[in-house]
Structure 1
Amino acid sequence: MSGTPPEWEALRARTREFIRTVVVPAEPALGERLTEEMRASLMQAAREAGVFAPHVAREYGGQGVPIEHWSAIFQEAGYSPIGASVLNCMAPDEGNMHMLGLIATDAQKQRYLAPLAAGVVRSCFAMTEPHPGAGSDPEALGTAAVRVPGGWLINGHKRFISGAEVAGFAIVMARNDASDGVPAGATMLLVEMDNPGLRIGEQIHAIDRAIAGGHPHVHFEDCFVADEAVLGAAGEGFRYAQVRLGPARLTHCMRWLGLARRSLDIALDRANERRIFGHRLGELGIAQEMIAQSVIDIETSNAIIAQTAQLLETDPKAGSAMSSIAKVFTSEAVYRVIDRAVQLCGGDGVTDNLPLASFLNEVRPFRIYDGSNETHKWAISRRALSQRRKQVAEGAPRLDVVGEAGA
């Protein structure tokens, strides 16, 4: 792709070849999940092809790609619903790896990041809670962590904890009171899934299937962890959450945009070959309109993702804010692209003859996951209003004033 350094363009090309020739033919039948045995085999093939863990530092066995160049590679991985899992850049592990790499101690990196990056274990991120606890609003966090001699005691109820059933450890967000120099706020804690104070509860059966381990409830009942389980600084969990959530939103956009590209390819093949009313489908104006709108949605999403990724590298605060815009637009655009592909493929589009209906199930929850689009739109609007008030306060003219009569 234009502007991509040759090293990362070569990796993108290798990833494209690997996904389309090795991974796509190995996809499980519709309605089934990728088995652990098949995933392990495909992951080894990815290592041998030099495409494994593109986002991970080389010292942990990854390809060491900087975040501003992730998108092209993640989109290639996302061309298959199992591609990101095979390359070990699937949520929630990818977001956890990124955060561990930034804020974990050396000992924590060896204990948690190294096996996670190698694909030996999986992880989950335990923040979301049943109402009235934390969901789109992290400030509603109800799970509590209390200082006790030698560590912390966690009590609370989490839900929709993606990947929990197959995870080896969780990164837990818990509210803490001020004590011994620790400010009141939230603390992130690393908790082994076999901790006797942790219990996996009822599974939540969502319509998506790409994330192994489902989305179950997780209960913490007098769950003790030692002091060295604190990730980063105690009381700073809300700040660290943004370190994780901004890039994690964006990588979801990258992966699902890859799936949108595949859906458009399916629709283009149908439009080039299917004849109706004496013409190829692609020669009909209404089909051309749908195809054009899908191309526009894909390329606009791609541009927003690229800008956001660059900001996350150079100005993380601005990048995190921009990631809300990228998440809202891309999650809606990807759904539109796949929905149009279904329509262009007619009856086959809603059957298991093609994978498009299952793709819709995979991407529809993204408008809710990582903060509902409505919550992000509220935040986008608040920032715009605040920025304009500041500009006017600093001397910019009010543009709504049309003179004395209209003021």
Structure 2
Amino acid sequence: MDFTLDPRHDGLRRKVRAFVEEHILPLESDPASFNEHENIKMSLRDEVRAKAKAAGLWAPQMPQSRGGLGLPMVGQAVFYEEANRSIFGPSCFNCAAPDDGNMRTLEMVGTEAQKEKWLQPIIDGTVNSSFVMTEPHPGGGSDPSMIQTKAERYGDKWRITGRKWFISGAAVARHFILMARTDPNPQETRRHLTAFLFHAEQPGWHIVRRIRNMGPDEHGGVCELQFDGLEIPDENRLMEVGDGLRLTQIRLGPARLTHCMRWLGLAKRSMEIAQAYVSSREGFGIRLADRESVQLKLGEVAHDIQIGRLLVMHAAWKLDQGDKARQEVSSAKIHVADTLHKAVDTAIQLNGARGYSGDTVLEWIYRYARAARLVDGASEVHKMVLARSYAKLGSDYWQWG
């Protein structure tokens, strides 16, 4: 692949960087910018979103015909990395999870009527959305074949019963994509799931609790949901009956990679804060930046970030060629999750008490970074994916084609 950026993508990169510098970074230092869950207040977010739309920096993953920028995955990698130079950035440009993955999925598999009703409001920024899949034991987590939530058909409607948890964004979402079991036969592990769409105001379900975690919390947090008879018209079924597992694969592969794109932005931001501090701070008659031990730390993180960027770009390029890029996405997910944690941990260490305090965003990023090795498949699961791929391919695992 050619690593020369398309002129349009590079122009957008520069515009995003300038926009973040002028309109978003200053908000991080004002406590009034934050809600009670340590994210940008949604009213303030919407003000910044209006500016982003006016600047032509809105919904980079969506087609231009629907109000987005129509960027391929490679272009998104460039955009998202700059957007997440700020902890608030992705949400302000409408490229934050879970909306990002939900929009992409609906655009790929929805009917035209479903896109108009369920997708367009998310693109416009008038509603938030959520993807409802993970369940408590003995239900499905990393293994969707274990999903227990049932969808039973009654005429032209489906009745949903079951429980879900750690559902991102559920507390503020209005549009939901739900994964449920439509085939009770436990032997049919590939065609047992179906995806459905429902709205927050429909009866037959409720939020049991918003689950407290290390935080900071995304808009809508992570919630536990109970379904006790939610009725969904068949017209709000996504794809065909039994296509649910296929839909999860369509959604989660690119979503994992866009996580990595954003995490690289946070890793680079951590390095910026560290470099600025060690360049000015002196101890025992020498700048920290002139100490070999400090240089080794920063050099190692810079090295890991660049490896992560190459892994992400390779996976993005393969997705743009129509490849599923499963092992490339898993490799990127493992490495970039580790690198984000390493970058912010190093930055905190070099900043000392300042990094541990709330005087920088480093402690925010540090707590956020711990989730990176868990979300969209724990690192161990992705290593198992790579091991199975290697067992199947042997030396062809490293083929160039």
Q: Matched residues in 2 for 1:131 and 1:380: separation? A: 25
Structure 1 residues 192, 339: CA separation in 2 closer, same or farther (over 3 Å shift)? same
What residue in structure 2 maps to residue 367 of structure 1?
Answer: 373
Q: Aligned letter for 1:42?
A: V
Which residue of the partner structure matches residue 27 of structure 2?
26
Within the alignment, does 1:289 sit opposite 2:285 as a pair?
no
Give the distance between the partners of 1:390 and 1:52, measured in 2 at CA: 40
| TM-score (norm: length of structure 2) | 0.93
1:217-228 → structure 2 map (5 Å cutoff): 217-228=224-235
Inter-partner Cα distance in structure 2 for 1:113 and 1:201: 26
Structure 1 letter corresponding to 2:357: T
CA deviation map 1:203-254 (0-9, x unaligned): 1112232510000101111111101111111111101111110110011111
- Whether 2:329 is the aligned partner of 1:328: answer no
Correspondence for 2:261: 254
1:132 aligns with 2:133: no
Partner of 2:105: 99
**CA separation in 1, counterparts of 2:191 and 2:371?**
33
State the shift of 1:53 in Å.
1.1
- Does the 8 A contact of 1:297 with 1:334 survive in 2? no
Rounded Cα–Cα distance in structure 1 between residues aligned with 2:215 and 2:307: 25
* Root mean square deviation of aligned Cα: 1.7
1:87: which partner in 2?
93
Q: Is the 8 A contact 2:191 2:244 kept in 1?
A: no
Letter in 2 for 1:34: I
Q: Is the 8 A contact 2:150 2:161 kept in 1?
A: yes
Equivalent residue for 1:301? Answer: 308
Greater shift, 149-158 or 97-106, is seen at: 149-158
What's 1:143 paired with?
A: 149
Distance in 2 (CA, whole Å) between partners of 1:360 and 1:150 is 48
Of 163, 167, 177, the match for 2:183: 177
C-alpha contact (below 8 Å) 2:373/2:379 kept by paired residues: yes
Cα distance per residue 1:240-299 (max 9 Å; x no partner): 111110110011111111011111000000111111121110110100000001101110
Cα separation, 2, equivalents of 1:373 and 1:140? 19
Name stretches of at least 5 consecutive residues in structure 2 with no aligned partner. none
Deviation, structure 1 residue 123? 0.3
Separation in structure 1 between the aligned mates of residue 385 and residue 224 of structure 2, nearest angstrom: 28
Query: Which residue identity does 1:251 align to in structure 2?
Result: T
Give TM-score scaled by structure 1 length: 0.92
Could you tell me the percent identity over the aligned residues?
A: 36
Q: Is the 8 A contact 1:144 1:175 kept in 2?
A: yes
Aligned to 1:402: none
The residue aligned with 1:396 is: none
1:312/1:320 contact within 8 Å kept: no
Alignment map for 1:306-321 (pairs within 5 Å): 306-317=313-324, 319-321=325-327
**Counterpart AA for 2:248:** A
Partner secondary structure for residue 148 of structure 2? coil
Structure 1 position 364, deviation (Å) = 0.8
Contact 1:82/1:210, CA 8 A, preserved across alignment: no
Partner secondary structure for residue 308 of structure 1: helix
The SS at the match of 1:187 is: strand
For 2:85 and 2:148, how far apart are their aligned partners in 1? 38
Residue number in structure 2 paired with 1:9: 10
Pick the aligned partner of 1:164 from 160, 165, 170. 170
Larger radius of gyration: 1
The code of the aligned residue for 1:4 comes to L
Alpha-carbon distance, 1:359 to partner:
0.6
What is the aligned partner in structure 1 of residue 203 from structure 2?
A: 196
Distance 2:15 2:395 in 1: 49
Task: State the SS of the aligned residue for 2:177.
Answer: strand
Task: After superposition, give the CA deviation of every residue in 1:176-204 in whole Å (9 maximum; x if it has no partner).
Answer: 1289xxx9411000011111012111111
Cα distance in 2 for residues equivalent to 1:321 and 1:228: 35
Q: d(CA) in 2 for partners of 1:94 and 1:208?
A: 20
Amino acid at match of 1:296: H
Unpaired segments of 5 or more residues in structure 1? 392-407
Measure, in 1, the Cα distance between the counterparts of 2:222 and 2:239: 26
Following the alignment from structure 2 to structure 1, what is the Cα–Cα distance between the partners of residues 14 and 43?
Answer: 26
2: distance between equivalents of 1:127 and 1:310?
A: 28
Q: Is the 8 A contact 1:201 1:216 kept in 2?
A: yes
**Aligned partner of 1:123 among 121, 129, 150:** 129
> What residue identity is the alignment partner of 2:14?
A
